[in-house]
């Protein structure tokens, strides 16, 4: 015998771009949306009964239709709009998860002045938001950054680590520290300023990474999270995933050359993988 366990369904990779026309300038945004419904959909799996199933194509249409008249300026606010709408208009659904990612388009500076209608894609990272709307509860909002690629060339080392018979790694007192971080945070207030909080968290994380005298990725990760909590009261916890993207010192001895921390070989596989959540006491 078999029974259906936890399940959900929806639409992924719904892509849209939007121009908001203000006096004297445009705001350009590019979003990718994923919608997932949970609820009374068991019979669609077990009895081939689609009578409770909203087509995923309709979910795609919902995203575009809501975007047309939406006043949301942030991906968090738009995700709440989509989740609330789908929950209110689909009685079999008990909860809706909406994830939105945003690419980093910014206006271009021409001869020292921002051009109001021309844009450049800055960096590989995505701004992210995940909202869960459930019946009888306030929306749960998680914001974040995916693919924050940062590197420092000094003030980083790794020494005094545990060794066993298979350990070959040599201690390093001065090394390159590079990562492509994924960061998410939860809120401590019911109606935070999402844009301001995102700006504050990002600024604090970058400042702490740059200034930190790192003894390990773990050491820096914790102090980055601690600094964000101290500076931004609106967040309750922050989770950082920081792969250690290595730059290995090149061996130039075959060419009768020394290498005083000058020439490196960047590798991204395999890499160290460090993840932790930093919470308020």
Residues taking part in catalysis? 11, 56, 246
Contact criterion met (CB below 8 Å) for 241 and 183: yes
Nearest Cα to Cα of residue 4 among 31, 42, 56: 42
Residue whose token pair is 């989509």: 82
Integer Rg of the chain from CA: 23
CA distances from 125 to 105, 158, 167, 207 (A): 11, 27, 34, 17
What is the edge-to-edge ordering of all strands in the sheet holding 140-152? 9-22, 25-39, 93-110, 113-134, 140-152, 177-187, 235-244, 272-279
Contact criterion met (CB below 8 Å) for 83 and 98: yes
The three-point CA angle 52-53-55 to 5° equals: 150
Contact criterion met (CB below 8 Å) for 127 and 148: no
Contact criterion met (CB below 8 Å) for 131 and 144: no
Locate the DSSP E strands across 135-234. Answer: 140-152, 177-187
Supply the DSSP string of 111-124, one letter for each residue. Answer: TTEEEEEEEEEEEE
Contact criterion met (CB below 8 Å) for 71 and 39: no
């Amino acid at each position: 015998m078999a029974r259906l366990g936890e399940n959900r369904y929806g639409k992924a990779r719904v892509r849209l771009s939007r121009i908001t026309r203000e006096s004297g300038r445009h705001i350009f945004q590019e979003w990718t949306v994923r919608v997932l419904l949970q609820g009374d959909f068991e019979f669609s799996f077990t009895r081939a009964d689609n009578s409770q199933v909203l087509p995923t194509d309709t979910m795609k249409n919902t995203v575009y239709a809501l975007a047309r008249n939406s006043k949301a300026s942030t991906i968090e606010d738009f995700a709440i709009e989509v989740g609330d709408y789908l929950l209110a208009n689909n009685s079999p659904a008990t909860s809706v998860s909406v994830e939105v990612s945003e690419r980093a388009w910014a206006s271009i500076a021409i001869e020292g002045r921002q051009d109001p209608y021309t844009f450049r894609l800055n960096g590989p990272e995505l701004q992210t938001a995940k909202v869960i709307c459930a019946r009888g509860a306030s929306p749960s909002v998680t914001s974040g950054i995916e693919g924050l690629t940062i590197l420092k060339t000094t003030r980083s080392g790794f020494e005094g680590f545990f060794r066993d018979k298979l350990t070959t790694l040599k201690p390093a007192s001065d090394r390159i520290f590079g990562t492509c971080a994924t960061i998410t945070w939860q809120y401590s207030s019911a109606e935070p300023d999402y844009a301001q909080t995102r700006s504050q968290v990002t600024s604090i994380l970058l400042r702490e990474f740059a200034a930190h005298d790192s003894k390990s990725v773990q050491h820096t990760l914790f102090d980055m999270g601690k600094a964000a909590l101290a500076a931004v009261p609106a967040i309750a916890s922050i989770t950082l995933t920081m792969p250690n993207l290595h730059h290995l010192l090149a061996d130039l001895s075959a060419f009768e050359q020394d290498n005083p921390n000058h020439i490196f070989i960047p590798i991204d596989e395999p890499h160290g993988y460090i993840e932790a959540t930093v919470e308020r006491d």
